[in-house]
Structure 1
Amino acid sequence: MATITKTQSGTWKAMIRRQGWPTTIKTFRLKRDAEDWARTTEDQMVRGLYVQRSHGERMTLDKALDRYLREVTPTKKSSTAAREAHHALPLREALGRYALAAITPDIVADYRDKRLATISPQTGRLLSASTVRLELALLGHLYSTAIREWGLGLTINPVQHIRRPKPSEGRNRRLTGDEERRLLAACDEHSNPMLGAVVRLALHTGMRQGEILSLTADQVDLDRRVVRLSMTKNGSARTVPLSRAAVDVLRDALTCPLRRGSPLVFPGEPKRGQAGRENPERGPYVINRVWAHALKRAGIEGLRFHDLRHEAVSRLVERGLSDQEVAAISGHKSMQMLRRYTHLRAEDLVEKLD
């Protein structure tokens, strides 16, 4: 039975104690509202339809993001974890004060539209649809986790009921003219020969930047001319065949004195510990800044390191490898991911048709 009492602050508290159900309490401004809620809740309990929603009504999105980043994000790869912490910031700013139960599809849709109309301070351009999709993906998975595992009494995932922005078209930037020569020359001018080796390996193999920089010596088999990757972006291990040029690059890298016995093929500078002492642990080589300087020296604009992967895969297609062979080398999981490279085949067929 429900008990309704008036509090010292003048509000009305409804308390329901029923065998087989947890004690349920809710406070209302009007007695009539308390009575209506108690009547409806008891009816749902009798029919076995009652869902405890109080936790979802009390937990804000800000607190939910804290729990998600603390419990769920650490189970993912470090790159994904860093990206999710970044994408959580605009969600906190716009929706952090909302209770989870109060966020409806129309609120999420309004957030989507405002984000798509936001100018990025880094680029000075509108945020890409891909960025907004990643933010919505984080919010959607948070709700899925809260519904399945946290027991907050949420009944719907609001992100599942809105239209997602269409993904941006994939980049198709390739090296043109003498850009490759200028780029490699600028990299070779750098004091650390690892920069040129990393860039050449990306062009020869199509490996991602993270795959190259995390490469260890025991993953490289120069005799069989393969590199075995256990940790990749899509989570699937793969073996990358090496051309003779790639073998030469790796052989020079493995014998480079700058490695100083590090298991990494491309280690970074030794870390400094307390009192300026050198820490023997060395992380991967960090190339973001030196890559930008190399592009500036070479006079090349609009080129990202990941575009080297596009260049490498495009060259594999131009050499006549099948889609399955290219996917086995590059690690693309679906043929759709290779669609933007297939137009090269059509151009090559023109001469054969004539």
Structure 2
Amino acid sequence: MATLVKTPSGTWKALIRKTGWPTVAKTFRTKRDAEDWSRRTEDEMVRGVYIQRSGSERMTLEAALKRYLSDITPTKKPTTQRGETSKAKKLTEHLGKYSLAALSAETIASYRDKRLNEKGRAGTTSNNTVRLELALLSHLFTVAIQEWGLGLTFNPVLNIRKPSPGEGRNRRLSPDEERRLLAAVNKHSNPMLGWIVGIALETGMRSTEISSLRRPQVDLERRIVKLVDTKNDAQRTVPLSKRATAIFQSAMENPARPSDCSLVFFGEPGKDAKRRPYAFTKVWGLLVKKLELPDFRFHDLRHEAVSRLVEGGLSDQEVSSISGHKSMQMLKRYTHLRSEDLVAKLDNISNKKQKTLAKQKDKV
């Protein structure tokens, strides 16, 4: 039987000691609440289903996210680490004061709806942004249940509807935009910017894959680049077009590269005297703004390159082996074919059909 004690502050403390179970105690405002909790807890102990929930009741989401960012996030890729830090800030801003035990599916669904209607610099928050924030929260609950022993019995994020990821971006470069962009990057004081943009357009490689390249990974004789550290953790070999090979040739022969630096695209030494990959994000942003290219991101160069590979007649399997997409569904989100190119192909099909019919008439 539980022991109920009235505290000097007027609250009631319930204490349960039962053989085979750890001693548990909890404080309530009324004696009735203390009795109800004691009766329910003792019943769970008798049935062997009691779970000590004090850990999840004490730990706020803010504290849990700090622990997650300290213990779990450092095991992931640098780009993922930066993304999770940003997502954690939003989750903390809206839900940080809730305990993990108090975060119900209803509360999280309300957060989802509020974020989807929240306006920022670029308009309302995208479905994909909210979906990724919920994915982080869901994994936090999974880790808390499986590893932290906080007494959580289920993941509330699994019980709510997730925003659809959307159709993906459909931003392609027009011939005039490409001409102006290449002219600008090739005129930049640092030739590495032009080389990087050119390689992105020719190969479809991601910005981090390009900037982190080291000289042993580039085989100009065989015209291939070996990627070891990719977003999908899968190594792949990227074939090089003649133009991509020529660009890499110039980059590899860069006279400014120090003899002890193996990076193909290198930055200035840091405070620790180490050279890291060339950081071009800020320069790229200023350049795109100056050229007045609306809503154009560096990652759209990958989109453009993959679309061109498809337009060039390569099969989905061949394109995925170059781009590194694991699923055909993801690949389709990047391959938006130009309508005018499809019109030209339809005309070719129609012309061939007419020629065939004409030959058949001649034979008759």
TM-score normalised by the shorter chain: which range applies? over 0.9
245, 251, 254: which one pairs with 1:253? Answer: 251
1:351 aligns with 2:344: no
Query: Does the CA-based 8 Å contact 1:317-1:342 persist in structure 2?
Result: no
Q: 1:258 is paired with a residue of what secondary structure?
A: coil
* Structure 2: distance between partners of 1:170 and 1:203: 19
284, 300, 316: which one pairs with 2:277? Answer: 284
Give ranges in structure 2 of 5+ residues lacking alignment: 351-364
Question: Which residue does 1:317 correspond to in 2?
Answer: 310
Question: Which residue does 1:40 correspond to in 2?
Answer: 40
131, 135, 138: which one pairs with 1:137? Answer: 135
Larger radius of gyration: 2
**Aligned-residue offset at 1:157:** 1.1
Give ranges in structure 1 of 5+ residues lacking alignment: 274-278
State the AA in 2 paired with 1:214. Answer: S
**Aligned-residue offset at 1:149:** 0.9
* Structure 2: distance between partners of 1:76 and 1:348: 45
State the AA in 2 paired with 1:209. Answer: S
Question: Which residue does 2:262 correspond to in 1?
Answer: 263
* Structure 2: distance between partners of 1:301 and 1:44: 61
* Structure 1: distance between partners of 2:307 and 2:75: 34
**Aligned-residue offset at 1:346:** 5.2
Q: 1:178 is paired with a residue of what secondary structure?
A: helix
Q: 1:268 is paired with a residue of what secondary structure?
A: strand
Alpha-carbon displacement from aligned partner over 1:114-171 (angstroms, at most 9, x marks no partner) = 1111111x32x11111111111111111111111111111122111111111113211
Query: Does the CA-based 8 Å contact 2:115-2:130 persist in structure 1?
Result: yes
State the AA in 2 paired with 1:43. Answer: D
1:335 aligns with 2:333: no
Alpha-carbon displacement from aligned partner over 1:261-320 (angstroms, at most 9, x marks no partner) = 3111001122245xxxxx2x1111111122133334544332211111111111111111
Question: Which residue does 1:214 correspond to in 2?
Answer: 212
State the AA in 2 paired with 1:215. Answer: L
* Structure 2: distance between partners of 1:242 and 1:88: 39
Query: Does the CA-based 8 Å contact 1:58-1:99 persist in structure 2?
Result: yes
Indicate how the Cα distance of structure 1 residues 139 and 296 shifts in structure 2: closer, same or farther if over 3 A, else same: closer
Query: Does the CA-based 8 Å contact 1:186-1:297 persist in structure 2?
Result: no
Size of the aligned set, in residue pairs, is 346
125, 128, 133: which one pairs with 2:126? Answer: 128
Q: 2:14 is paired with a residue of what secondary structure?
A: strand
Question: Which residue does 2:196 correspond to in 1?
Answer: 198
* Structure 1: distance between partners of 2:306 and 2:344: 15
Indicate how the Cα distance of structure 1 residues 296 and 105 shifts in structure 2: closer, same or farther if over 3 A, else same: closer
Alpha-carbon displacement from aligned partner over 1:176-233 (angstroms, at most 9, x marks no partner) = 1322221111011111000000000001100001100011111111111111111111
Higher mean displacement: 172-181 or 248-257: 172-181
**Aligned-residue offset at 1:347:** 4.7
**Aligned-residue offset at 1:8:** 1.6
State the AA in 2 paired with 1:252. Answer: S
Query: Does the CA-based 8 Å contact 1:16-1:24 persist in structure 2?
Result: yes
Question: Which residue does 2:119 correspond to in 1?
Answer: 119
* Structure 2: distance between partners of 1:213 and 1:29: 60
* Structure 1: distance between partners of 2:256 and 2:344: 43
* Structure 1: distance between partners of 2:92 and 2:105: 17
Indicate how the Cα distance of structure 1 residues 153 and 272 shifts in structure 2: closer, same or farther if over 3 A, else same: closer
State the AA in 1 paired with 2:154. Answer: I
Question: Which residue does 2:100 correspond to in 1?
Answer: 100
State the AA in 2 paired with 1:266. Answer: F
Q: So what's the TM-score if we normalise by structure 1?
A: 0.94
